[in-house]
Amino acid sequence: MRRTADDPHVLLAIGLAVPTILVHVSAPQAGSTGVIAVAVLYVLIQVLLSAAPVHGRHVGWLTRPVPRLALALAFVTAVANQTGNAGFRPLTALAIPVITMAAAYGGREAAIIASLAAVAYLGPALLTGEGLAMAVQRGLVLASVTAILVVGTRRTVSSLEQALGRLRQTLADGRRRNRHVAAVEAAGRALAARGPEHEVLEQVMDLLHHELGYPHVSIYLADGERVRLGAQRGYADAIETFDGTTGVIGRVIRTHRAELVTDTARDPDFIAVAPGVTSEICAPLVVDDDLLGIVNVEADADALDETDFGSVVLVADRLASALALARERRSLAERADLFQRLTAFGNSVTGSLVTDTVYPTIVAGVRRVLDSDIVVLTVLDRSTGQYFIRGMSGGDLSFLGAEIRPGEGVSGRAIRDRSVVVDEALDRERFPADVRGAKVNDVLAAIAQPLIRDGVVVGALSLTRNELAEPFSRIEREVLEVLGTQVALAITNTFLHADVTEASIRDPLTGLFNRRHLDASLDRFLAARRRDPADRRPAAVILFDLDRFGAFNKRHGHRVGDMVLRGFGELLDERFRASDLVARYGGEEFVAVLDGATLDDAVRIANEVRTAWAARSFNGADGAPLHATVSAGCARVEDSAHSADDLLTAADVGLAMAKAAGRDLVVAA
């Protein structure tokens, strides 16, 4: 039924039968019943033929277009001769759609059916001679109309066939292009996921060489200011690098624009590598005007055209996007790794507040975070305002403690300018003066970050590399800035810790050690003497007491009294060695423990202090000069001393004797 409904001959049969039946129903004639029966029979025959096997043994030939059209023409001839009269046969016009359908099948079919129609139309007149002239005239008109319809039908059908052919070609090209795009996308995904690995580049080459059919293809990847060969197909010996000065590739490197060279013989920049090459397409892999590489295609027999140019540019655009995505992924991975190391670094440098521990931790940690050959930490000495190397990893460690003056080397320039200093070729002549003799390379790639906290430059962090071709990248500079903030905070914390520690062991008025520090130091001192009896050296202790200080304080006031105490503390700090332990014992009493000194040494030094003190004068509240004296008791540190009290008891006896003897004296007990 589906085949019958779609059969054009069945539709034609219905189209011929309906007007025939209508004519005879509307104006019955003799034999109208027979004509109607013939029309119905004709339709049934066409229906049966539409359902018959196309390749049947007995009726297969009847299902072909010409026999079925001939059957339609026979039907028209039969009913036309039975309708009207010899002068006018209206159903003869039904032959026109039959001939038109024949034209739709082809010129041969149209000629056969048109010839049969002419014979059928003129046959009766020729045989009988009746109305021959009239039949010829009408035949000519009918033939002209038929010819016009046949020509128009053939032109329409031919146009439709051509359009269908173009559509089929377009669909085929689209399917081919879709396959190419799918291949490009697959290569792009691989590039984006894995980067420009060898296997991925080989996949790209297979795409261009096998899928797109180009005989000579290559891909170059950016390497600094030049491009380097990544993969190729079709070359026996491809050029490894281009620097932008030669070849069509060099021209594309300079302009960042794709090039189609249709005749290589006429291009002055063309460099022949493969023999017989006549055309070339060179497309840059560019993202945000950043050249990532080059795709190059060359052909010999079949010249490359605009279609090829569009395909290669499409491939280049997709590959450029994939390479940019891969680069961004690598950058993100590097950032993630760097910031993980930054976190570990921050935890390590905040784990200690002692300079002897934190400075080596800083330089070692920085070197783990940023790949470098030498890391140097320069720190401010707050007492002098000078800067010294306090930490170093790599390099010549004998220069630890060397002074770095502002403006010298990258560290000194960073301190002076309070900004990052980058020097990709720092030569020895521009090293800081005190480290110019260091055993390092004569030229280094260097960078220095100032360490600033609360507006104060507390130091500088400098890194160097021996390999000049690997300067510090932008992301490494960003990381160094973060490191600098953490290091500056760590150094400031050590300063604060030192201040707090110092405040806890110093007397705030005189600046000497306080009683707490004195007791702890004496315990360690005595423990060391007990532990190593063979290494004991002589030691002595002096106990000072300002004479009648209580009365002096009441008479002149506490401000003057504090001035006197500070003055005596300054005198002790000036007179005693750094190895001596000098402390305020309490009130107006002071203690000095002299390691390696005899009792006679102690008495001599105490008398020097007593004399110098008596010679000093102070301004009273009214401006009048004031003088004060001091008494002292000296004693030798006995081997039997086990505590601070044991150590000071003998000196206290000497002090009591000096006071009893009239004060302003030194007595050895």
Whether 506-668 and 350-491 are alike in CATH topology: the answer is: no
Neighbours of 480 (CB within 10 A): 24
Radius of gyration of the chain (CA): 56
**Whether the predicted model's global pTM rises above the 0.85 cut:** no
Q: What is the DSSP letter of 471?
A: P
Neighbours of 237 (CB within 10 A): 8
**Superfamily of the domain at 195-331:** GAF domain (3.30.450.40)
Distance CA 111, CA 114 (A): 5
pLDDT of res. 56: 46
pLDDT of res. 7: 83
pLDDT of res. 15: 84
Q: Residue written as tokens 């004496």?
A: 522
pLDDT of res. 279: 95
How far is the first Cα of the chain from the last one, in angstroms, to the nearest whole number?
140
pLDDT of res. 76: 82
- Axis-axis angle for helices 95-105, 107-128 (nearest 10): 150
Q: Where are the domains of the chain?
A: 2-163, 195-331, 350-491, 506-668
pLDDT of res. 543: 96
**Superfamily of the domain at 506-668:** Reverse transcriptase/Diguanylate cyclase domain (3.30.70.270)
What is the CATH code of the structural domain delimited by 350-491? 3.30.450.40
Distance CA 390, CA 378 (A): 6
Distance CA 593, CA 577 (A): 10
Which parts of the chain sit beneath pLDDT 50? 56-57
Structural tokens at position 342: 């930054």
